[in-house]
A and B are shown apart, each in its own frame.
Chain A
């Protein structure tokens, strides 16, 4: 369509005005209030309000508690995953790392280790697993999708090797009850404090540091990022260490929350996390997305999940809703773009009668 514009004969002063009138992009408050993240947050708020009115027993501290306890693993892993996907890579092995951590915790605890040491070693296992991914992707330069499908099988397999089909359940009660404890009467789990700190850490890292801004550049163009002075491989390596460590935290949380260490803990969680991240506005091509949007996406899926369950609607509908939301969230912008282009073309045609008469463009 733009071809029609440029080849149109006799450009009139009108033309420049029309072009100039097309907004290039939003600035200031409008950018924050009308952006993709904001829309996600509005949808979340609207849904929470709707659920509080329409679904009995939804608006209560109990809801807040259970809802947050359920979404914490996804929320945790979604944070570093956002950064990874923004650089145009992906990590499918996160749930397996969580499972491996959980299995390791169970075995070490059953072997009579001190719980502090158990937690430390489990966390370290996650760091190493992430570093292994990072090594293969950043140093060897293999495609991350293929590598992490491989380590998805490998880490889950190692979890099986470590613990077999046993389950360890007798974790220290003070620790398991701490994990499910709430802050006063608000219903907010105490663990959320840690999650919020982590979210702030990743939010600041992504949005306010040169490293984080560099990740966007990296997602747009690897070459450009190199020229700007970003050490591409080092950045990618540390991001995978990040997903590994946070997945280990999620694994530890999962184990203590359900008080059970099994090899199949958190299996299949990787797709839930990625669905939530993409729903939160991160582009799978990289270069686009934000932490607030992702958090809203995770919470939206969690809230819908919980509301449907309270409304006695089976989990069945829930997965359909998750899938449809995901597709709608990616298809809607491209439909919206097409509409906007069509509108723009129509406006240009109206204000340029010569172009419309001489060079009738077909819509």
Chain B
């Protein structure tokens, strides 16, 4: 995680620089300095503020109301966070490339209703088959977004605002007044969100696996690093020879797959799926990513941060209830949190920029 680019550098060299410096720690023989450097790079982690906020929130709430961290309490916290974690990971990928996908709520709704329908039509389909169908469906929806963004070269905000409406409309047309309830689905499918392993519900484990897999991909692979370069400076990335169109298309596709996965899990977790499933979720997801330190203009942030942001946003609701804060305050507090995240991010980037200037001046 030390490779997190700490700033948006207009020349797009940040990612390359950060990677290089963290890959060659052996060049500095002094042990002391290595420790100092790793502490410094730890302090610069973009996930740090959000993680600290999450820990403070949990500790304070636990002190006030020990029931908050009872096994059942923890399970509820994790279950509430699961779906938004997966969506936030996908959204982080998109935002890192300086795009945005507003259609995730609609994609989730379509896939969740599709899953309900699938079990209705083919009650005997294996659960793994339902996952495959759902993710494939999500992939198709994401690919439409990706094609429109990369081929027509129209900003993602506009395209995905359009597909937000279109997918929701299709969902309404398909579902009409129909709703599918948990009884219509096999018991084993529903128990995915009831059974636990080591206190973790199964669907949360799926989400954690997704976070780890995508995080490793972003840190360790060439295409993963390319995404940061694209978000930092698209022109520089193009000159560097990165196939921007293909990468961005695949990012939208991946986001669609993850939204599809989240849709299937939604059908497992919640009792009913219908025309309005996932309505208005898109801004929560973007907010989770932003709170988690993914800069809205791309080029920096990590999927782990986005996932922690998602946990923080969902935990706040439970924590405020546990603290007996008036439930009407919750949304306002979420708003303040988002603003705080952006301001902290801004302060950090100003500090880094100043440091870079100083060190560059010294090198000259």
Contacts and interface: CB of A to CB of B under 8 A. Distances in A.
Main DSSP-derived SS at the A contact region: helix
Contacts of B167: 323
A320 B170 contact: yes
B296 A143 contact: yes
B361 interface: no
A141 interface: yes
A293 to B, nearest CB: 15
A267 B335 CA distance: 15
B339 A284 contact: no
Contacts of A90: 157
Interface stretch (B16-24, B146-154, B215-223): B146-154
B198 interface: no
Nearest to A333: B154
B280 A141 contact: no
Contact of B330 (A146, A157, A285, A327): A157
A16 interface: no
B339 A160 contact: no
Interface string A323-346: 110110011001100000000000
A152 interface: yes
Contacts of B326: 161
A320 B346 contact: no
B164 A317 contact: no
Given A268-B280, A320-B166, A327-B163, A143 B342 contact: yes
Interface string B332-364: 111110110011001000000000000000000
Given A152-B335, A154-B335, A334 B166 contact: no
Contacts of B173: 314, 316-317, 320
Contacts of A164: 328
B334 A316 contact: no
B331 interface: yes
B103 to A, nearest CB: 9
A161 B283 CA distance: 20
A334 B153 CA distance: 8
A150 B286 CA distance: 10
A158 interface: yes
A145 interface: yes
B158 interface: yes
A44 interface: no
Main DSSP-derived SS at the B contact region: helix
Contacts of B280: 267-268
B355 to A, nearest CB: 19
A351 B130 CA distance: 60
Nearest to B330: A157
B159 interface: yes
B166 to A, nearest CB: 4
B165 A323 contact: yes
Contacts of A285: 155
A140 B287 contact: no
A326 B162 contact: yes
Interface residues of B, number: 46
Contacts of A326: 158, 161-162, 165
A223 interface: no
A143 B286 CA distance: 14
Interface in A127-149: 136, 140-143, 145-147, 149
Indicate the member of B102, B158, B163, B176 with the most A CB atoms within 10 Å: B158
Interface string B123-166: 00000000000000000000000001000111101110111111
A331 B342 contact: no
A92 B102 CA distance: 13
Nearest to B350: A141
A102 interface: no
Indicate the member of B153, B162, B172, B173 with the most A CB atoms within 10 Å: B162
A267 B283 CA distance: 13
Interface in A209-257: none
Given A142-B342, A320-B165, A323-B169, A152 B283 contact: yes
A331 B148 CA distance: 8
A123 to B, nearest CB: 21
B290 interface: yes
B159 A327 contact: yes
Given A153-B335, A153-B338, A267-B280, 19 more contacts: A142-B346, A145-B100, A149-B290, A153-B283, A153-B334, A154-B335, A156-B331, A157-B330, A157-B331, A157-B333, A160-B332, A165-B328, A275-B162, A316-B172, A317-B169, A324-B162, A327-B158, A330-B158, A331-B154
23 contacts: A143-B342, A147-B342, A149-B287, A151-B335, A153-B331, A153-B334, A154-B331, A156-B335, A157-B329, A160-B331, A164-B328, A271-B165, A274-B161, A278-B158, A284-B157, A314-B172, A320-B169, A323-B166, A326-B158, A327-B166, A330-B159, A334-B152, A334-B153
Interface of B: 100, 102, 148, 152-155, 157-159, 161-170, 172-173, 176, 280, 283, 286-287, 290, 295-297, 326, 328-336, 338-339, 342-343, 346
